[in-house]
Structure 1
Amino acid sequence: MDREELLNATPEDSGAQKKQESPLVSLEKDLEFYSDTIKEVAIEIMVEGISNHPIFIAHQHVVSIGELILNREELNTEWSIQASTLEEFVEKGIINKEKKESFLKTYKKPETFMCVFVVVPEGANFIYYPYKKG
């Protein structure tokens, strides 16, 4: 699923006065706002040799993977962000060891895109979001 599909994935208007906005609209706004910080953390993870494949977890609840880097309550935003790595995702079984190679084939250049594991009540999915230019 690409970014556009996720952002436009809203429930059908069932006669309600106001169409429910997808939570991913607020996620895009927050990722735009967080972009520079996330990129700095991604570069740090790679430069320090922790991993060549940083993964960021976007959530609105509590998740038990990665390290909290951006707290929505402190920043008055909709989403919190945790920093993690491909290795931790494999270790915790979120990415099956057998699927690691196919995941790496789709993993986009971490200097250009943030890999975000979006956790919502309905489930979770990976998206790649481009960093802001300049």
Structure 2
Amino acid sequence: MDIEELLPQQPEGGKEEQRKSPLLSLEKDLELYAASIKEVAVEIMVEGISANPIFVAHQHTVSIGELILDRKELNTEWTIQASTFEEFVEKGIISPEKKALFLKSYKKPEDYMCVFVIVPEGANFIYYPYQVKSKA
């Protein structure tokens, strides 16, 4: 799933949305964090911790992964924690029946960060490219 799929769709010719999606600020923070996240992803893979790093983006407190980017320290909107596919399975976020399906859809970690986004309405996985295409 790409971030665009989680962003609210604007009604055609309708009014501007009353409330901005928190995912707009997430996209801004992921652009800012991309180099740091990629560095951690490479480290996770090179050290043999996991071939499938997962990053958790949240604005509250969560008990999965290790804190790598704190929104309070960085004066941003989102905190990022580093985790792995294995921890997600161990904690039951990815059920044993869904492991193969998840790995099949997992995008190349050298090109995309796998982000588990937690918002009050729920949580979902997105894949965000490290290199965002420039808007020419």
Unaligned runs of 5+ in 2: none
Q: Secondary structure at the match of 1:58?
A: strand
Partner of 1:62 in structure 2?
61
Runs of 4+ aligned residues of structure 1 deviating over 6 Å after TM superposition are none
TM-score (norm 2): 0.89
Partner of 1:95 in structure 2?
94
Partner of 2:4 in structure 1?
4
Q: Distance in 2 between matches of 1:69 and 1:62?
A: 13
* 1:1-134 paired onto structure 2 within 5 Å: 1-7=1-7, 9=8, 19-132=18-131
Q: Secondary structure at the match of 1:125?
A: strand
Question: Cα–Cα, structure 1 residues 122 and 71, in superposed 2: closer, same or farther, change >3 Å?
Answer: same
Per-residue deviation, 1:115: 0.0
Question: Cα–Cα, structure 1 residues 48 and 61, in superposed 2: closer, same or farther, change >3 Å?
Answer: same
Q: Deviations over 1:14-69 (max 9, x none)?
A: xx996211000000000000000000000000000000000000000000000000
Aligned residues: 130
Q: Kindly, what percent of the aligned residue pairs are identical?
A: 73
Say if 2:113 and 2:127, in contact at 8 Å, map to a contact too.
Answer: yes
Say if 1:46 and 1:54, in contact at 8 Å, map to a contact too.
Answer: yes
Q: What is the identity, as a one-letter code, of the residue corresponding to 1:56?
A: F
Per-residue deviation, 1:2: 3.0
Q: What is the identity, as a one-letter code, of the residue corresponding to 1:93?
A: G
Q: What is the identity, as a one-letter code, of the residue corresponding to 2:46?
A: V
Say if 2:10 and 2:17, in contact at 8 Å, map to a contact too.
Answer: no
